[in-house]
């Protein structure tokens, strides 16, 4: 391994004179503390490196040791349930509450292992050679993606340490390689797959406004831009707790320590409905908080996505949640500035766009090397300065994601959560998941209707929201009292839709997550309400009378009051609603309550 | 803590002095970011740190005024470690300058431990969840944006608004609802503030008898602007000592963080760095985080560190980098409004853009009142609707509104005049009672954030009938 001698140091940027060859991207260690870094530039016999740790005290003359390989992380079953810094060094089990720079060892754990292959079996790259009992999940030991050959030794079933040799393989070239429960992989290189597949099923988030209006598919990619306090973190945390992925990788990138601590505590306390074990057993937390070294923030995103790909390669659906990608971009900017690179828009380096593209490109549903199906779904929050979506990180991100969940400060101020702005948000995955949703509708009491009910209802809802915005603008000119009855009804319906369907508190015991069936039922009952409302109008009722129906309050509190799986409650609500409207028609038919501007359809 | 090594001294090495940067010939072994003491012919000791070092040169960033230094006679000392602050019991009751030197004519500070002023990042795993509700007596905070121990909750203010008075009121009233606590301490960091602001805080703390439980760090507007980069760090180091060594519950008031950021911009400019927005360096976020993230609770240690930073929004613009980046780091913000202030509302808190992110952890069943969170949420919904109606009325006139909208406008006016405005500190119960009264003026059917039971319990008796 090559060595070099430190020439100069400023912030995370170190220059050194080389005594041997160094490669671009090679990992290195500096000084006695062994600070970790990476080569970012080579010129003659000088190298420039970015260091991932606090460089206080580093001085000219300090020894630099090349590691002969790029920045790698160890991937194995014991990642699950753990919390790591941006370089995947463990954060739990440290003596001091404060993090000092320097090396930290990965604690070794034991798992029960069962071989899947026998001596003499040929193995292909990425093939599972054993099973591990991972608690909540049934995991596989994989042959590293670039290794193949024949098994010449494999241990019997039993409990083993996660760093000991479990098998040996002879490559076609005749060399022997050791296989263990885990292996190392360079974080900046996507792990290979057999092929990429089109998306078809949604990643269920448990958030109605997302699943119904702006779905993201398994293998899809979504961005959550929003100013401070609009609900990015709470939304990502809610997804971490209740989305339908098998494995969750949560990357806290340059955000608050208290949030990470809270997420960790909650994941440990929550019981996973699938396995009855703590939810944390399906989760990996990568935490590089805002006060931890900046350069490691840049690496943390890559570590996270590499972990996600590793579990995907075992045939699992993985969601990577990154909060916030803007902090990652800022870390790029900071290091780039220290390297004296030419700044582009907003001071960000010119390669910001391509780095974002590379990152989001790692989202996919795939056939793994072993022939199974797995997916990585990427969900990243974006923190635009002053909430302005035209800034470079948001605008680049917009080009690479398929689902865009824009958060709106006005909604957040009214404590209307999730503060998704339905007019700015979109999803390109809606068509892909429509069939999946139709199956949910078909399984409801009463079965599925004609055509795709989900598609029809979703379109109605989106149209209603559009109309609401248009009428809101109009009211600002002519006054609300000048609106026609159908227009006033539209505004009323939109309000009911907002309160009764879109709004969903992440802290409500009943409503923090909403199952697919309940979403379908709520959507359906809303559709019935829209029909009944219009019908009532044609028979002479006025919107104010509809607004006064007590059943509206029930409709607007469905999220709080009806639990997942309570079909009876929905049936009761529907009956109550039909009765209320029937009574209303009875009254408005006989009384003079209808306002003069109501459509004179009462005659018909 | 690295061991102290004998002080290295370098005389006659100074080659160039440019703004706060001192360029030296490197004749000694020193590391990046280590502390430096620069002594001029005038005998004044100025603190600095190593900003860059290579084989020949050493760039020192002076953190105090360079005036009076010359090149040939300047002596530079290197303690061989990053800046440290020596602290011990007896720091309470003292008035210090921006870097912890006595200003009150008292003896030198007793030293029982030396702490690095930059602090090390607190491991998120070691953090304890802040959840002890602090009653401040301010309704807009207690009821709507609750503060908890270990939180960092800034006041977003602007020139001419009464942020100082609010900070003093909070410091004077802040208490836990359960226990009396005598483990309470205040650390005040004046960063680039006017002499009368400093005096106001000092006399207010004195009048309330809190001065013996306080320590003041003063970097006045007339002091070197580069020293402002150190003042919050010295103050927080003292606060960490009080909280995590002595086990006290410390409230840190830092004002004005905008002056801090401007000093950072000045130094970055002198270094010739590429600016990001409005001339501020791209690392302003990380730099502010290294200050704000020092609030919190540590598992297994008795004390807590709560921050109440004050910043002034240039041109009242909340999108300005200083409030914007602060808001991205802190756990909420209390925003003051000029129009409420003009209308004579005290405290002029604009609740809509205000937020406490930790409120959910410290309120409700088992913390405050079971109905507290729902009440706050309902008030927000109603007041936001009032604000919307008010906007509409401004365009089309009140006549163009629906009956419902007119009712909300009335609600909004009462909300500001009766709930936000207050003459006396209120207990949470008083605040809640006042809030239920206001909501009783709205139709029960529209209170969708409240459960039927909550309406029956609080609204119906006041509305004098069963809610629809
Ligand atoms: N879905 C939600 N349900 C309930 N409250 C929410 C929700 N989203 C956000 N909030 C509230 O808003 C605050 C700020 O949200 P957060 O996610 O931290 O914002 P951001 O990450 O965008 O700055 C939270 O502390 C919480 O009180
Ligand atoms: Mg956040």
Nearest chain B alpha carbon to A498: B448
Mean pLDDT, all residues of chain B = 91
Minimal Cα–Cα distance from B206 to chain A, Å?
34
**CATH number of the domain that residue B180 is part of:** 3.40.50.12240
Count of domains in chain B?
3
Q: Across residues A543-559, what is the average pLDDT?
A: 93
Query: What pLDDT, on the 0 to 100 scale, is given for residue B265?
Result: 94
Report CA(B153)–ligand 2 centroid distance (Å). 15
Query: What pLDDT, on the 0 to 100 scale, is given for residue B18?
Result: 87
A418 lines ligand 1 (CB under 6 A): yes
Q: Return the ligand number nearest the Cα of A206.
A: 1
Indicate if the pLDDT at residue A594 is higher than 60: no
A409 lines ligand 1 (CB under 6 A): no
Indicate if the pLDDT at residue A593 is higher than 70: no
**Contact status, residue B144 vs residue B379, Cβ threshold 8 Å:** yes
Pocket test for ligand 1, best of A210, A229, A380, A502 (most atoms within 8 A of CB): A229
**Contact status, residue B14 vs residue B43, Cβ threshold 8 Å:** no
Q: Return the ligand number nearest the Cα of A225.
A: 1
Are B352 and B240 in a shared domain? Answer: yes
Report CA(A232)–ligand 2 centroid distance (Å). 5
A405 lines ligand 1 (CB under 6 A): no
Count of C-beta atoms within a 10 Å radius of residue B361: 22
Query: What pLDDT, on the 0 to 100 scale, is given for residue A451?
Result: 83
Which of B126, B130, B377 has the CB atom closest to A415's CB atom? B377
Residue count (chain B): 468
Q: Cα-flanking dihedrals φ and ψ of residue B278, to 5°?
A: 50, 35
A232 lines ligand 1 (CB under 6 A): yes
Indicate if the pLDDT at residue B77 is higher than 70: yes
Tokens of B239: 């606060």
Query: What pLDDT, on the 0 to 100 scale, is given for residue B20?
Result: 86
Q: Across residues B119-128, what is the average pLDDT?
A: 92
Q: Which of B24, B55, B82 is the last residue of a domain?
A: B82
B449 lines ligand 1 (CB under 6 A): no
Query: What pLDDT, on the 0 to 100 scale, is given for residue B174?
Result: 86
According to DSSP, the residues that pair with B218 across neighbouring strands are B97, B190
Interface with chain A: mutation pick from B21, B23, B123, B370, highest number of A CBs within 10 Å = B123
Are B262 and B354 in a shared domain? Answer: yes
Q: Return the ligand number nearest the Cα of A508.
A: 1
**CATH number of the domain that residue B43 is part of:** 2.40.10.170
Indicate if the pLDDT at residue A591 is higher than 60: no
**Contact status, residue A142 vs residue A134, Cβ threshold 8 Å:** no
Cross-chain Cβ contact B324/A8 below 8 Å: no
Q: Is residue B365 part of a domain?
A: no
Are B452 and B340 in a shared domain? Answer: no
Report CA(A228)–ligand 2 centroid distance (Å). 7
A417 lines ligand 1 (CB under 6 A): yes
A230 lines ligand 1 (CB under 6 A): yes
Burial of residue B7 (CB within 10 Å: 0-12, 13-18, 19+) is exposed
Mean pLDDT, all residues of chain A = 92
Q: Decide if B393 touches A, using CB distance below 8 A.
A: no
Query: What pLDDT, on the 0 to 100 scale, is given for residue B183?
Result: 86
DSSP A359-409: HHHT-EEEE-TTS-EEEEEEEEEE--GGG-TTSHHHHHHHHH-SEE--B-H
Percent of chain A predicted with pLDDT > 90? 82
Q: Which of B300, B328, B360 is the last residue of a domain?
A: B360
Are B32 and B117 in a shared domain? Answer: no
Query: What pLDDT, on the 0 to 100 scale, is given for residue B466?
Result: 41
Give, using CA atoms, the residue closest to atom 24 of ligand 1. B357
Are B130 and B74 in a shared domain? Answer: no
Interface with chain B: mutation pick from A415, A506, A508, highest number of B CBs within 10 Å = A415
A387 lines ligand 1 (CB under 6 A): no
Nearest-Å Rg of the Cα atoms of chain B is: 25
Q: Decide if B245 touches A, using CB distance below 8 A.
A: no
Q: Is residue B468 part of a domain?
A: no
Which of A264, A327, A479 has the CB atom closest to B396's CB atom? A479
**Contact status, residue B22 vs residue B87, Cβ threshold 8 Å:** no
**Contact status, residue B443 vs residue B431, Cβ threshold 8 Å:** no
Pocket test for ligand 1, best of A206, A231, A239, A385 (most atoms within 8 A of CB): A231
Query: What pLDDT, on the 0 to 100 scale, is given for residue B180?
Result: 59
**Contact status, residue A132 vs residue A181, Cβ threshold 8 Å:** yes
Are B188 and B331 in a shared domain? Answer: yes
Burial of residue A390 (CB within 10 Å: 0-12, 13-18, 19+) is exposed
Are B296 and B189 in a shared domain? Answer: yes
Tokens of A75: 């991937």
Cross-chain Cβ contact A92/B125 below 8 Å: yes
Name the more confident of A37 and A449. Answer: A37
The model's pLDDT over A567-590, given as tens digits with 9 standing for 90+, comes to 999 999 999 999 999 998 777 544
Cross-chain Cβ contact B26/A60 below 8 Å: yes
Query: What pLDDT, on the 0 to 100 scale, is given for residue A450?
Result: 74
Q: Is residue B393 part of a domain?
A: yes
Q: Is residue B355 part of a domain?
A: yes
Q: Which of B58, B82, B106 is the last residue of a domain?
A: B82
Q: Across residues B276-286, what is the average pLDDT?
A: 90
Out of A195-209, A336-350, B110-124, pick the least confident: A336-350
Burial of residue A194 (CB within 10 Å: 0-12, 13-18, 19+) is middle
Count of C-beta atoms within a 10 Å radius of residue B149: 25
Are B211 and B279 in a shared domain? Answer: yes
Q: Is residue B102 part of a domain?
A: yes
Which of B123, B273, B401 has the CB atom closest to A337's CB atom? B273
Q: Is residue B118 part of a domain?
A: yes
Chain A residues in contact with B52 (beta carbon < 8 A): 8-10
Query: What pLDDT, on the 0 to 100 scale, is given for residue B468?
Result: 39
A233 lines ligand 1 (CB under 6 A): yes
Closest to A430 measured CA to CA, from A215, A209, A244, A223:
A215
Are B339 and B444 in a shared domain? Answer: no
Query: What pLDDT, on the 0 to 100 scale, is given for residue A252?
Result: 95
Closest to B239 measured CA to CA, from B168, B181, B189:
B189
Strand B8-11 versus strand B75-78 pairing type: antiparallel
Chain A residues in contact with B54 (beta carbon < 8 A): 7-9, 15, 60
ipTM value, please give it.
0.93
Residue A505 CA, closest ligand 1 atom number = 3
The model's pLDDT over A310-343, given as tens digits with 9 standing for 90+, comes to 999 999 999 999 999 999 999 999 888 888 888 8
Minimal Cα–Cα distance from B331 to chain A, Å?
9
Q: Across residues B401-421, what is the average pLDDT?
A: 93
Q: At what angle do helices B372-396 and B428-439 cross, to 10 degrees?
A: 50
In which domain, by residue range, is B54 found?
A: 8-82
Chain B residues in contact with A334 (beta carbon < 8 A): 282-283, 286
Are B158 and B36 in a shared domain? Answer: no
Q: Is residue B443 part of a domain?
A: yes
Out of A530-539, B145-154, B269-278, B316-325, pick the least confident: B269-278
Are B376 and B458 in a shared domain? Answer: yes
Nearest chain B alpha carbon to A552: B445
Q: Return the ligand number nearest the Cα of B332.
A: 1
DSSP 3-state of A163: coil
Interface of B with A in 394-423 (CB under 8 A): 395-397, 399-402, 405
**How many residue pairs bridge chain A and chain B with CB atoms within 8 Å of each other?**
229
Indicate if the pLDDT at residue A494 is higher than 60: yes
Q: Decide if B299 touches A, using CB distance below 8 A.
A: yes
Q: How confident is the model at residue A595 (pLDDT cuts 50, 70, 90)?
A: very low
Percent of chain B predicted with pLDDT > 70? 96
Interior angle at CA B418, CA B416 and CA B423, nearest 5: 105
Strand A283-288 versus strand A83-84 pairing type: parallel
Helices (H), B155-256: 163-173, 195-207, 231-240
Q: Is residue B27 part of a domain?
A: yes
Chain A residues in contact with B2 (beta carbon < 8 A): 57
Q: Across residues A510-533, what is the average pLDDT?
A: 96
B357 lines ligand 1 (CB under 6 A): yes
Indicate if the pLDDT at residue B456 is higher than 70: yes
Q: How confident is the model at residue A117 (pLDDT cuts 50, 70, 90)?
A: very high
Place of tokens 């306080």: B214
Pocket test for ligand 1, best of A205, A417, A499 (most atoms within 8 A of CB): A417
Are B129 and B51 in a shared domain? Answer: no
């Amino acid at each position: 391994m090559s060595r070099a001698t430190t020439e100069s140091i400023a912030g995370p940027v170190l220059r050194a004179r080389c005594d041997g060859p160094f490669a671009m991207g090679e990992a290195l260690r500096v000084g006695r503390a062994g600070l970790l870094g990476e080569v970012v530039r080579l010129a003659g016999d000088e190298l420039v490196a970015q260091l991932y740790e606090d460089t206080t005290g580093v001085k000219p003359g300090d020894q630099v040791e090349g590691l002969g390989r790029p920045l790698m992380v160890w991937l194995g079953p014991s990642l699950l349930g753990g919390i790591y810094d941006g370089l995947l060094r463990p954060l739990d089990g440290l003596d001091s509450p404060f993090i000092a720079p320097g090396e930290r060892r990965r604690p070794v754990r034991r798992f029960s292992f069962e071989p899947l292959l026998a001596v003499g079996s040929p193995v292909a790259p990425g093939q599972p050679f054993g099973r591990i009992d991972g608690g909540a999940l049934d995991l596989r030991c994989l042959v590293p993606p670039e290794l193949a050959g024949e098994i010449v030794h494999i241990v019997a079933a039993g409990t083993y340490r996660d760093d000991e040799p479990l098998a040996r393989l002879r490559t076609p070239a005749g060399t022997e390689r050791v296989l263990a429960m885990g292996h190392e992989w360079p974080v900046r290189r996507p792990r290979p797959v057999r092929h990429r597949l089109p998306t078809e099923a949604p990643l269920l988030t448990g958030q109605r406004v997302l699943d119904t209006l702006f779905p993201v598919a398994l293998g899809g990619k979504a961005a959550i831009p929003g100013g401070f306090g609009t609900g990015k973190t709470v939304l990502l945390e809610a997804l971490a707790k209740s989305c339908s992925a098998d494995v969750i990788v949560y990357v806290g990138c340059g955000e608050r320590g208290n949030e990470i601590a809270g997420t960790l505590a909650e994941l440990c306390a929550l019981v996973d409905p699938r396995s009855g074990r703590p939810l944390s057993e399906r989760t990996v937390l990568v935490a590089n908080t805002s006060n931890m070294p900046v350069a490691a923030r840049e690496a943390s995103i890559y570590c996270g996505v590499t972990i996600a790909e590793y579990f995907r390669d075992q045939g699992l659906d993985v969601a990577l949640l990154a909060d916030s990608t803007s902090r990652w971009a800022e870390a790029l900017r900071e290091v780039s500035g220290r390297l004296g690179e030419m700044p582009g828009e907003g001071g960000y380096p010119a390669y910001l766009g391509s780095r974002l593209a590379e990152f989001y490109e790692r989202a996919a549903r795939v056939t793994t090397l072993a022939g199974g199906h797995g997916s990585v779904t990427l969900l990243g929050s974006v923190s635009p300065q002053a909430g302005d979506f035209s800034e470079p990180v948001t605008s680049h991100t917009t080009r690479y994601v398929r689902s865009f969940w824009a958060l709106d400060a006005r909604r957040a101020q009214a404590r209307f959560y999730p503060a998704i702005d339905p007019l700015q948000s979109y999803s390109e995955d809606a068509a892909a998941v429509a069939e999946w949703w139709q199956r949910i509708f078909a399984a409801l009491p009463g079965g599925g209707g004609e055509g795709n009910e989900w598609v029809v209802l979703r379109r109605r809802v989106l149209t209603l929201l559009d109309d609401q915005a248009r009428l809101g603008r109009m009211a600002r000119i002519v006054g609300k009292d000048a609106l026609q009855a159908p227009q006033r009804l539209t505004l009323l319906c939109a309000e009911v839709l907002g309160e009764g369907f879109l709004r969903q508190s992440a802290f409500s015991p009943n409503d923090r997550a909403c199952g697919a069936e309940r979403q379908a039922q709520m959507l359906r009952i809303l559709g019935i309400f829209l029909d009944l409302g219009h019908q009532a109008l044609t028979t002479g009722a006025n919107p104010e009378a509809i607004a006064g129906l007590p059943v509206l309050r029930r409709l607007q509190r469905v999220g709080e009051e009806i639990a997942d799986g309570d079909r009876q409650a929905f049936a009761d609500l529907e009956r109550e609603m039909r009765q209320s409207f029937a009574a209303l028609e009875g009254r408005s038919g006989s009384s003079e309550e209808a306002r003069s501007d109501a459509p004179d359809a009462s005659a018909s | 803590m690295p061991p102290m090594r004998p002080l290295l001294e370098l005389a006659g090495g100074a080659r160039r002095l440019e703004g706060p940067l001192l360029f030296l010939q490197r004749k000694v072994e020193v590391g990046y970011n280590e502390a430096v003491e620069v002594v001029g012919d005038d005998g004044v000791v100025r603190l600095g740190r190593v900003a860059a070092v290579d084989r020949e040169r050493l760039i020192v960033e002076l953190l105090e005024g360079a005036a009076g230094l010359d090149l040939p006679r300047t002596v530079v000392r290197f303690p061989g470690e990053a800046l440290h602050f020596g602290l011990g019991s007896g720091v309470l009751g003292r008035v210090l300058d921006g870097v912890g030197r006595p200003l009150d004519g008292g003896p030198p500070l007793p030293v029982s431990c030396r702490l690095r002023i930059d602090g090390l990042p607190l491991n998120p795993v070691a953090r304890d969840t802040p959840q002890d509700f602090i009653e401040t007596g301010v309704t807009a905070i207690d009821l709507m944006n609750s503060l908890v121990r270990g939180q960092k909750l800034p006041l977003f203010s602007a020139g001419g608004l009464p942020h100082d008075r609010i900070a003093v009121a909070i410091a004077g009233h802040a208490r836990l609802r359960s226990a009396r606590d005598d483990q309470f301490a205040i650390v005040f960091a004046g960063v680039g503030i006017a002499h009368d602001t400093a005096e106001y805080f000092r006399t207010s703390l004195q009048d309330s008898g809190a001065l013996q439980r306080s320590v003041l760090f003063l970097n006045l507007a007339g002091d070197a602007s580069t020293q402002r980069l150190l003042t919050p760090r010295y103050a927080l180091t003292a606060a960490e000592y009080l909280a995590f060594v002595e086990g006290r519950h410390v409230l840190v008031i830092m004002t004005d963080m905008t002056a801090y950021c401007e000093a950072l911009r000045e130094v970055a400019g002198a270094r010739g760095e590429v600016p990001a927005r409005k001339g501020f360096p791209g690392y302003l976020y990380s730099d502010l985080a290294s200050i704000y993230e020092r609030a919190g609770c540590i598992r297994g240690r008795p004390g807590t560190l709560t921050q109440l930073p004050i910043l002034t929004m240039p041109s009242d613009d909340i999108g300005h980098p200083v409030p914007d980046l602060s808001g991205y780091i802190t756990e909420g913000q209390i925003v003051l409004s000029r129009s409420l202030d003009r209308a004579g509302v005290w405290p002029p808190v604009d609740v809509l853009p205000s937020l406490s992110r930790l409120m959910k952890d410290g309120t409700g069943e088992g913390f405050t009142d079971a109905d507290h969170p729902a009440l706050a949420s309902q008030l927000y919904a109603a007041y936001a609707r009032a604000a919307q109606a008010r906007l509409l009325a401004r365009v089309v006139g009140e006549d163009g509104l629906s009956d419902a909208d007119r009712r909300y406008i009335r609600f909004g006016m009462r909300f500001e005049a009766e709930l936000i405005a207050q003459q006396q500190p209120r207990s949470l119960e008083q605040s809640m009672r006042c809030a239920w009264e206001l909501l009783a003026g709205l139709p029960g059917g529209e209170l969708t954030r409240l459960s039927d039971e909550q309406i029956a319990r609080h609204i119906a008796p006041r509305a004098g009938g069963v809610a629809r």
